Structure 1
Amino acid sequence: MRKWGPLIAVSLGAFMLLIDTTIVIVALPEIGRANGSSYADLQWVMDGYALALAALLLGAGALADIVGRKRVYLVGLVLFTAASLLCGLAPGTGTLVGARVLQGVGGAAMLATAIALLGDAYQGRDRGIAFGVWGAVSGASAALGPILGGLLTEHVGWRAIFLVNLPAGAVTLFLAGRMLRESYGKRDARVDVPGAAAFTVAAGAATYALIRAGGHGWSDRGVWAAVAASALAVVAFCVVESRSAAPMLDLRLLANRSFTGILVGGMAMQFAAFGWVALASVWLQGVLDHGAVQAGLMLSPLAVVAFVVSALSGRLLHGVSPRWIIGGGLLFIGAGVLLLSRVDAGSDWTALVPGLLVTGIGVGLGAPSLAGAVLGTVPPAQAGMAGGAVNTFRQLGFAFGVAVTGVLFRDKAESMLDGAGLARPGAAAEALAGGRVAPGAAGRAASESAFASGLDTAVTVCGLVGLAAGVLVILLVRTSGPAAAAPREAAVERPRVAAN
C-alpha cells in the first residue's frame, strides 16, 4: 500500500474531476425540468466547469511549483469536494453554475499537479506503470461518466451525481495527506496573474457571446459587447505575455508549427468529438423518452471503444509519427461524427451507433498521444508549460463546442418550427433544446423533425471541424518519432523534496 499509495491518491482525484465532465451530461434534462432551466442555463452547467479548468491550469501549475505541489493538490481537492456539496444542495441553476465554476477551480489545482506528484513519487519502470495506470483511470472515467450519471439520476436524483463526490473526496483527502510527499519546482518563479486574468476574460466572454447568441440571436447587443470584450482581452493577453519575464504561455512557441498544430488538434478534438453529446442526450431523453440510465448506456459506445483503442494503440502503433496518429484520429472523429447526421425524425437510438463507434476509434487513437507529442516539440525546460497548454486548449475546445452547437441547433430548430407554423418558434426552439416538445400530435411531430434537423446541423459542423483539423495536423506537425517517445522523465522536472 505504501508503494502505490501516491498513485491511488492521485488517480482517485483524477477520476473525480474527470468524471464530473461527463457524468452531468445525462442528468441535464432532469436538471432542466427540476429547475425550469433553459438550454443556455444547462450549457453553463457544463461550460462553467470546463472554462474554470482551462483558465486556471497553467497558473495553478506555476503556483504549485512555488508553494508546494502537495499543498496545492490538497487545497484543490478540498475546494472541489466542498463545491460538489454546493452543487448537490443548489436551490436553482444560478447557484449550480457558480458551484460548478468552483469545482473547476479545484479541479484545475488537482489536474495541474497530478503529473508532477507522480513524477516525484516514482522512478524508472515504476514511473511508467504509474503514468499508464493514471491514463487508464482517466480514460475509464469518461466511459463510466454517462452510465454512473444515469444510474444516480434515475434511481436517486440528479443531486446525487455531485453528492457522491463527498465520500470519494474524503477518502482521497485521507490518502493524499498520508501518502503524498511535498515537492517544489522553481521556488523563485512567478505566477502570471495578469496573463491568467486576461485569458480568463477572453475565454469566458467568447463563450458567453456564443451561448447568449443561441438564446437571443446575433442581433443582440449583449452578444457583440461580449465579442468585443473577448477580442480586447486577447490583445491584452498577447501584450502581457510578450512582456512578461515569466509568461503563462511563451508566445514564441506558437512559431513552432508542430506545437501550434498539436494545440489546434487538441482543441478541435474535444470540439468535434464531444461538443454535440449534450444535445444527443437531450434527444434520447426528451424526444425519444428514454430514461437516464438508458441514455447513458446508449452513448457509452464512444467512450468504451476509445478506452479499448487507446490501450491497444500504445502497443501496436509504437514508432509511428504523432502527426499520423493524432491527425488520423481526428479524421476518424470527423468521419464518425458526420455519420451521426443520419438521424432523422423517424430514427431511434441505433442511428447513433455507427457514428459513436467510429468516433470512439478516433478518440482512442488521438487523445492519448497529445501529451507525449507536445512534449516532443519543446525543450525539456518548457515541458510543463507545453503540457499545461495542450490540456488548456482541450478544455477550451469542449467549452466552445458546447456553445457553438447550441447556437447551430437553435437557429436550425427555430427555422424548422417557423416553417411548420408553430407560434413563437424562438421560444419553442429554446424549450425543445431543453427536451420539452410542443404539445399536441402536430406539435410533437414538428418538434421531432426540428430536433433531428438541429442535431444534424450541429454534428455536421463538428464533423467538418474534425476533418479539417486532421488535415491541418498532418500538414503542420513534424515531430519525429512516436508520440510516446517524448521522454516522460522530461515531463516532470526533478523536484526538491521537503519533509511532510
Structure 2
Amino acid sequence: MRGWGPLTAVCLGTFMLLLDVTIVVVALPDMARSLHTSLSDLQWVVDGYALALAALLLGAGAAADVLGRRRLHVAGTAVFAVASLLCGLAPGPGPLVAARALQGVGAAAMLATTLPLLGSVYRDRRRSVALGVWGAVSGGAAAVGPVVGGLLTEGPGWRWIFFVNLPVSVAAIWLTARVVPESHGAPGLRVDRPGTLAFAVFAGGTTFAVVRAGEDGWAAAATLVSFAVAALALLAFVLVERRARHPLLDLRLLRRPAFVGVLAGALAFNGVAFGVTPYVSIWMQTLRGASPVGGGLALLPMTGASVVVAIAGGRFLHGAPARLTIGGGLLLISAGCFCQTVLDAGSGWTALVPGLVLVGLGTGLVAPAVAGAALATVTPERAGMAGGAVNTARQLGYALAVAVSGTVLSGRMQDTLPHDAAHTLAGGGAAALRGTFPRHTLDAAFTAGLDRALLVTGLAGTVAAVLVLVLVRTARRDGPGPAPVPARPLPEGSAAPGR
C-alpha cells in the first residue's frame, strides 16, 4: 500500500480533464469577441473536446490494458498539457477547435485509465474510500467549472482557462510516475483499431451533420453527405464488433432491455441537463449584461442542488431501484427544462432559477446511479465494457445536444431575424447587431430561441425517462441474458468512470 499518493495523482488529472468540459462555457462570449468566431465555431469549441473524449474512450481503455495503464495515463496527461498550451496560444477559431480536439484525445487516455489504476492499488475498505473521494472530486469539477472559468476570464483573460492546466499537468505527471504502479489487462488482449476508427467516424460525422444543418439546412448536400458517412460508419462498427475477438462493445449486451434502458438514460443525461447551458451563458453576457463571473454564479442553483442531492442520496437512497433514480431524475431534469421556457425580451437570469434547481435535483439523482446501474445489468466479466459504454454515451450525448441546441436556437431566431444575423446573435455577436436591429428585437429573438431549445431538450429527456422506466425492470447480474464472452477485464470495483 502506498498511502494516498496514487489517489492524489489520479484525482488531479480527473479534476482537470472534467473541469475542461464546463470551464469554457462562460468564456464563450469573450472568445467570440477576441477571435471573431461564428456560431459553429463556438459549438465546436465545446464539442471538439467532448466528441474526441467520447469517440476514443473505449479504444483508449483497450489500449491501456495492452500498453500499460500508467504509461497511457501519463502520455494522455502530456498530450492534454500540450493541447492546453496550444488552446491558450490559438490565433483563431480553427486552431482553437483543433487544439480542443487534441485535448479530448489526451482526456480519453486519462479517463479510461483512472479507475483501473485505483483498482490496482487499493483494496477492500480503502478502495471504497478512494472511489468515494474520486467521485466527489469528479462531481466538484463539473460544479465549479463555470465559476472558475468566469474568474479566469474576467481576470487574466479567457486564455488562462487553458494555461492553468500546465502546472497541474506537470504535478500530475510527476506524482503519477513516482507513486502509481504500472498495471496491465489480461495477457493476449488486442486493441480493436477498426472498431475504434469506425465509432469515431460515426460520432464525428453525426455531430458535424447536425452543426452543418444549423448553418446550411437539413437538406443541404454537406448535411446529407455527413449523415450518410455517419450511417456507413455505424454499419461498419456493427460488423466489426460482431467479428472482433476482443470487441469494444459486445453487441449481445444490447439484447438486455435493462442495459439498453440505462444506455438511453446515459445518452440523454448530460445533453438534456447541460446542452443548452453554453447558449444561456451567451445570452446572459451579451444581452443581459452579466460579467463572466456573474454568468458562472448564475448556474450555482443548479450545481448546488446537484451536490446536496448527490450527498443525501448516497445516504438515504442506497438500494433504491435504478429505474426510479435514473428515470425519476430525468423527469426532474426535463421538468426543469420546461420551467425555463418562460423567457421573453424582458426576462432576467432569475427567471431561470426554479428550472435550474429542478435540473440540479435531477442531476444529483442520476449522476451517482447511472454507472452502477449499467454494471448491475451485466456479468462481472463485462463490467469494464459496460462502464466505458455508459461514459461514452454521456459524452456523446453532450456533444450532440450542444450541436442540436445551437441548430434549434438559430432556426427559431430566423423567424425574426435574417439567417446571417441569427447566427451572429447566437454566436455572441449581439454588439455588432445593435446598430441594425432594435435591442428589443434581439432580446426577443434570443429568448425565443432559448425557449425552443429548452423545449426540445425537455421532450428528449422525457422520452429517455420513459424508456428507462419501461426497460430497466430488473438489473441483476445473474439474470437471463447472453453468456459471458472474453472482454477487457478490469480490477474489481474499477470498471466505470463516473463523471
TM-score bracket relative to the smaller structure: over 0.9
* Cα distance in 1 for residues equivalent to 2:476 and 2:345: 47
Contact 1:331 1:470 survives alignment (8 Å) = yes
Q: How does 1:54-453 map to 2 (within 5 A)?
A: 54-417=54-417, 425-437=418-430, 438-440=433-435, 442-453=437-448
Contact 1:43 1:403 survives alignment (8 Å) = yes
Residue 441 of structure 1, CA deviation: 8.3
Residue 478 of structure 1, CA deviation: 2.4
Residue 489 of structure 1, CA deviation: 6.8
1:33 corresponds in structure 2 to 33
2:7 corresponds in structure 1 to 7
Q: Deviations over 1:351-409 (max 9, x none)?
A: 11111101000000001111111111111111111000000000010000000001100
Matched, 1:492 2:487: no
User: How many percent of aligned residue pairs carry the same amino acid?
Assistant: 53
User: Match for 1:478: what amino acid?
Assistant: R
* Cα distance in 1 for residues equivalent to 2:415 and 2:237: 38
* Cα distance in 2 for residues equivalent to 1:41 and 1:492: 37
* Cα distance in 1 for residues equivalent to 2:107 and 2:117: 15
Matched, 1:464 2:459: yes
Residue 343 of structure 1, CA deviation: 1.2
* Cα distance in 2 for residues equivalent to 1:489 and 1:332: 34
* Cα distance in 2 for residues equivalent to 1:51 and 1:435: 22
Residue 490 of structure 1, CA deviation: 3.6
Contact 1:376 1:479 survives alignment (8 Å) = no
1:21 corresponds in structure 2 to 21
Residue 445 of structure 1, CA deviation: 1.2
User: Match for 1:78: what amino acid?
Assistant: A
CA RMSD in angstroms comes to: 1.5
Contact 1:375 1:491 survives alignment (8 Å) = no
- CA 1:489–1:373: 2 relative to 1, 3 Å: farther
User: Match for 2:216: what amino acid?
Assistant: H
User: Match for 2:370: what amino acid?
Assistant: L
Q: Deviations over 1:181-236 (max 9, x none)?
A: 01111231111110111111111011001011111222321111101111111111
User: Match for 1:330: what amino acid?
Assistant: L
User: What TM-score results when the alignment is normalised by the length of structure 2?
Assistant: 0.94
Contact 2:153 2:160 survives alignment (8 Å) = yes
Residue 481 of structure 1, CA deviation: 7.7
Q: How many residues align?
A: 481
Q: Deviations over 1:431-458 (max 9, x none)?
A: 1101222224852211100000000000
Contact 1:18 1:142 survives alignment (8 Å) = yes
Match 1:475 to one of 440, 459, 470: 470
Moved more, 24-33 or 307-316: 307-316
* Cα distance in 2 for residues equivalent to 1:461 and 1:19: 26
* Cα distance in 2 for residues equivalent to 1:303 and 1:492: 26
User: Match for 1:202: what amino acid?
Assistant: F
User: Match for 1:347: what amino acid?
Assistant: S
User: Match for 1:231: what amino acid?
Assistant: A
Contact 2:32 2:429 survives alignment (8 Å) = no
Moved more, 229-238 or 215-224: 215-224
Contact 2:119 2:492 survives alignment (8 Å) = no
Residue 306 of structure 1, CA deviation: 0.9
Contact 2:258 2:475 survives alignment (8 Å) = no
Contact 1:147 1:297 survives alignment (8 Å) = yes
* Cα distance in 1 for residues equivalent to 2:196 and 2:468: 27
Moved more, 441-450 or 286-295: 441-450
User: Match for 1:427: what amino acid?
Assistant: D
User: Match for 1:245: what amino acid?
Assistant: R
Contact 1:320 1:481 survives alignment (8 Å) = no
Contact 1:373 1:479 survives alignment (8 Å) = no
Gaps of 5+ in 2: 478-489
Q: What SS is found at the alignment partner of 1:183?
A: coil
User: Match for 2:450: what amino acid?
Assistant: L
Contact 1:51 1:395 survives alignment (8 Å) = yes
* Cα distance in 2 for residues equivalent to 1:264 and 1:380: 21
* Cα distance in 2 for residues equivalent to 1:302 and 1:400: 21
* Cα distance in 1 for residues equivalent to 2:116 and 2:373: 18
2:42 corresponds in structure 1 to 42
User: Match for 1:464: what amino acid?
Assistant: L
User: Match for 2:455: what amino acid?
Assistant: T
Contact 2:378 2:476 survives alignment (8 Å) = no
Gaps of 5+ in 1: 418-424, 483-487, 494-500
Q: What SS is found at the alignment partner of 2:167?
A: helix
Contact 2:377 2:475 survives alignment (8 Å) = no
User: Match for 2:293: what amino acid?
Assistant: V
Q: Deviations over 1:24-69 (max 9, x none)?
A: 0000111011011001001001111011111111111111111111
Residue 302 of structure 1, CA deviation: 1.2
Q: What SS is found at the alignment partner of 1:187?
A: coil
1:498 corresponds in structure 2 to none
1:497 corresponds in structure 2 to none
2:480 corresponds in structure 1 to none
Moved more, 295-304 or 131-140: 295-304
